[in-house]
Amino acid sequence: MSAPFVQVALNLPAGDAFDYAVPPGLRARVVPGIRVRVPFRNRHLTGYCVRLLDAPTIDAKLVKPIADVVDEEPLLDPEMLELCHWVAGYYGCSWGEVLEAALPAGVRHQVVSRTIQVVEPAFEPTELQAVVADLPARQRKRGAVLEALVFSHGDELTPRQLAEMAGCSLATVHATRKAGLVRYREKVVTEHPVDDVQPEETEPVRLTDDQEIALRMLARKRADGFGVVLLHGVTGSGKTEVYLRAMADVVAEGKQAIVLVPEISLTPQTIRRFKGRFARVAVLHSHLTPGQRYEQWRTIRRGEADVVIGPRSAIFAPVERLGLIVVDEEHENTFKQENVPRYHARDVAVVRARQAGCLVILGSATPSLESYNNARRGRYAYLQLPRRVLGLPLPPMEIVDMTAEHSETRRLSLISRRLEILMRTALDNDAQVMLFLNRRGFSTLVYCPRCQHALRCPRCEIPMVYHRRRNIALCHYCGERQPPSGICPSCGGAKMRHFGAGTERIEDEVARKFPAYPIQRMDSDTTRGRTAHQRLLSRFRSGEARILIGTQMIAKGLDFPQVTLVGVVSADTSLYLPDFRAAERTFQLVEQVAGRAGRGLRGGRVVVQTTNPHHYSILAAASHDYKGFAETELDFRRELGYPPYGHLLRVVVTAASRDEGRARCQKLASTVLALPEASSMEVLGPAECPLATLKGKSRWHLLLKASDRAAIRAAAQALRPIAGAKGKARIALDVDPVSML
């Protein structure tokens, strides 16, 4: 294989692949999938050789020679190049942008060992808290740096990681060092495999009849080559066991499997379970250092992993003998990447499986309506596990109407009388309780009753959340922080009031009501630092903590048999989001949280508190009626042409001012309306995004709706040059958007 010309994909928004000449001396080394250095405009860039050419596709006089070849061997095989090409075409970005995302950072830089700087306090750790408290107000950013250092619990953090944790700039960390508050220390890290997770030896279970049937079906489907199976199993029905067995069959045939899980459920517990069954497991996740990722990637590349487990990016793992892809919790939003390339890993999984001629299993207790509808229409096979294992029943759920509760008790208590009684019963019986609220912090609105002034982020204009333990008001979108003062910044009034509850406030109320029982709170405030997550969970697992309070972090996947009561403190947080999926999210959340109850022989129950006791998503969740919910919701979607009946392209404009944002968005709308596809599309907007201002920037969007996927694809392609062009406003194209904010 040697060619005089090649096409090179660059990690730039514009173009797809650029022609270059290959000097004779480099021809033997230039093959598809290898990286090359090329002159581009007035600089040199590294790109991916994607095609060999006998003759250039443009005027030969314009073709420059490549400067150098970077790798000894290609990093991507032809199938992977092709898959990435499909992703680029479908999601409206460039081939090079996708290739860049398909390789973990450590692979691109081929890190093996390196020296890093880690930050340590310049005084005794025990003095840290006191030092933070003594800092003058104008140094609060530095205080945040020190505070983050306290929260890191001895994890060694680089200045950049620390800045990220503290929500400040790298410059602030440097300034903190200049001020003599912290030191940097050099540390050499050599990269070695991630073998710190010990396998879990499990007794082989006897499959339930439902599991047996599912496996027989899967074996039959697998023999047919490509196919998609939606495995709809209620929480605790043994879906994971089904994946494990199906994967074992695949591995026994000498093939490999990829398992995609939401990042949040990629816990040591999950990894242990897979390692217990398979000798050669590769794990890819975001907590790995670049070097560790490179190490895992090379292991996979050499064909030395039978099973690859990871979050969405693992769909690009360099597996050659692909025999099965499993997407666990397929309904999860985290499978969608929210920056370029904005791919949905579940959908890419289906494309990759088609390419490899293998089966995909999409598993969930609450399938996305997209997948459910595909199953309904016969495009996907549909397999059910309608019962929990060991004959355990699904927990009964009761709804508490919080409006009635408040008017009857005349108190704004967060825990209803009913929930309190059930908590007491559970705790008195030595069981454990989980309380869920999808909002962290203490109060979600700090407000002056005298002048109506509410504390808002100066950059995002949305209310700041007060965090009492850290004693700051925090913007949950941009990380802006302010020292809270009891004084209204607008009128000087001295009585700021707090509305809306977060997990901290629940913790307070529960501690007051149940002083005898240790509480564990889990949200992104308490789990900063690399090991915190595990530490807090094992404190609950061991029974040392009796009540677990948390955000979505505790909603999914966890299996604590001693939990007999789960309380959803408010089911309303997701219900009124300006998003056509609000009802679906609410149903999923309530059903998933409920799934944490009654996983042991002691049984369990669920209390759902809401001010919307008659909403169909809540009623359906309360009776574990997925089908009922799905059919009602699908009717709404059909009426409005939303997915799965229509396809969407969301175009988001981020500009310096409202006027500019509106003008740019208006212009884009005109461009869209002039497209040949416009006749088969509905164009909504321009409108301000629900989050109209973020980090001081004005945000506007257009929503393109079409019943035909091809129209959306064509529109994305047509808009790409505009979106990629350098300009003052940033334009993002989001095909099949998940976030509507």
Q: Decide: is 99 part of the binding site for Zn ion (CB under 5 A).
A: no
Nearer to Zn ion, 460 or 712 (CB): 460
From CA 728, how far away is CA 660, in angstroms rounded? 9
Asked if 205 is part of the footprint of ligand ADP (rule: CB under 6 A), the reply reads yes
Contacts of 138 (CB under 8 A, 6+ apart): none
Are residues 313 and 266 in contact, defined by beta-carbon separation less than 8 angstroms? no
Q: Which is nearer to ligand ADP, 13 or 598 (CB)?
A: 598
Residue selected from 11, 237, 374, 592 as contacting ligand ADP according to rule CB under 6 A: 237
Reduce the DSSP state of residue 618 to 3 states and report it.
Answer: helix
Measured over the CA atoms of residue 73, residue 77, residue 81 and residue 83, the dihedral's sign is negative
Q: With CB cut-offs between 5 and 8 Å by kind, which of ligand ADP, Zn ion, none does residue 553 bind?
A: none
- Strand, helix or coil at 147? helix
Q: Are 592 and 608 in contact (CB under 8 A)?
A: no
Bridge-based pairing of strands 397-401 and 647-655 is unpaired
Question: Do the beta carbons of residue 257 and residue 324 sit within 8 Å?
Answer: yes
Nearer to ligand ADP, 206 or 411 (CB): 206
Count CA within 13 A, CB hemisphere, residue 548.
33
CB of 300 to ligand ADP, least distance (A): 25
Choose the one of Zn ion, ligand ADP, none that binds residue 478, judging by a C-beta under 5 to 8 angstroms depending on kind: Zn ion
Size, binding site for ligand ADP by CB under 6 A: 16
Residue 283 falls in which region: left (phi positive, over 0), alpha (psi -120 to 50) or beta: beta
Task: Give me the least distance between CB of 459 and Zn ion, in Å please.
Answer: 4
- Quick check: 13 binds ligand ADP (CB under 6 A)? no
Among residues 250 and 478, whose Cβ is nearest to Zn ion?
478
Decide if residue 235 touches ligand ADP (CB under 6 A). yes
Q: Is 395 in the site for ligand ADP (CB under 6 A)?
A: no
**Residue 364 sits in the site that holds ligand ADP (CB under 6 A):** no
Q: Among 459, 470, 530, 667, which residue interacts with Zn ion (rule: CB under 5 A)?
A: 459
Q: Is residue 660 a contact partner of residue 693, using CB atoms and an 8 Å limit?
A: no
CA angle, residues 222, 239, 279, in degrees to nearest 5: 75
In the shown chain, the binding pattern of residues 507 to 526 toward ligand ADP, with x for contact by CB under 6 A and - for none, equals --------------------
SS3 assignment, position 477: coil
The strand ranges marked E within 279-430 are 281-283, 307-310, 322-328, 359-364, 381-385, 397-401
Structure tokens at 603: 């049984």
> Quick check: 389 binds ligand ADP (CB under 6 A)?
yes
What's the min distance (Å) between Cβ of 363 and ligand ADP? Answer: 7
Q: Which does 236 bind (CB under 5 to 8 A by kind): ligand ADP, Zn ion, none?
A: ligand ADP
The residue among 243 and 380 lying less far from ligand ADP, judged by its C-beta, is: 243
Q: Is 331 in the site for ligand ADP (CB under 6 A)?
A: no
Q: Is 208 in the site for ligand ADP (CB under 6 A)?
A: yes
Nearer to ligand ADP, 272 or 354 (CB): 272
Does 478 interact with Zn ion (rule: CB under 5 A)?
A: yes
- Is the torsion defined by CA of 524, 526, 532, 536 positive or negative? negative
Looking up tokens 């047919």, which residue turns up? Answer: 224
What the block records as the tokens of 100 is 């860049």
Rounded CA-CA distance 503/442 in Å is: 6
The least CB distance from residue 697 to Zn ion, in Å, is 11
Spatial distance between the Cα atoms of 609 and 567, rounded to a whole number of angstroms: 8
Given a contact cutoff of 8 angstroms between Cβ atoms, the answer to whether 92 and 723 are in contact is: yes
Question: Residue 389 binds which one of Zn ion, ligand ADP, none, with CB within 5 to 8 A depending on kind?
Answer: ligand ADP
Assign residue 52 a region (left: φ > 0; alpha: ψ between -120 and 50; beta: otherwise): beta
Under the binding rule (CB under 6 A), the answer on residue 480 touching ligand ADP is no
Report the nearest approach of Zn ion to the CB of residue 652 (Å): 17
Contact between 559 and ligand ADP per CB under 6 A: yes
- Token readout for 479 is 């990380």
Among the listed ranges 114-122, 233-241, 545-553, 672-680, the one in contact with ligand ADP (CB under 6 A) is: 233-241
239 binding ligand ADP? (CB under 6 A): yes
Q: Which of 74, 106, 236, 604 binds ligand ADP (CB under 6 A)?
A: 236
Q: What is the CA 665 to chain-centroid distance, rounded?
A: 28
Q: Provide the pairing of β-strand 256-260 with 681-694.
A: unpaired
Binder of residue 205, out of Zn ion, ligand ADP, none (CB less than 5 to 8 A by kind)? ligand ADP
Question: Rounded to the nearest whole angstrom, what is the least distance from the CB of residue 558 to ligand ADP in the complex?
Answer: 10
Choices 31-39, 470-478, 582-590, 645-653; region in contact with Zn ion by CB under 5 A: 470-478
207 binds, among ligand ADP, Zn ion, none (CB under 5 to 8 A by kind): ligand ADP
- The residue (of 132 and 242) whose beta carbon lies closer to ligand ADP is 242
Q: Is 465 in the site for Zn ion (CB under 5 A)?
A: no
Residues 391, 652 contacting (CB under 8 angstroms): no
* Position 455 contacts Zn ion (CB under 5 A): no
Which residues are CB-contacts of 286 (< 8 A; sequence separation ≥ 6)?
263, 311
Q: What angle do CA 718, 719, 721 make, to 5 degrees?
A: 90
Residues that bind Zn ion in the complex, under the rule CB under 5 A: 457, 459-460, 475, 477-478, 480
Residues that bind ligand ADP in the complex, under the rule CB under 6 A: 205-208, 211, 233, 235-241, 389-390, 559
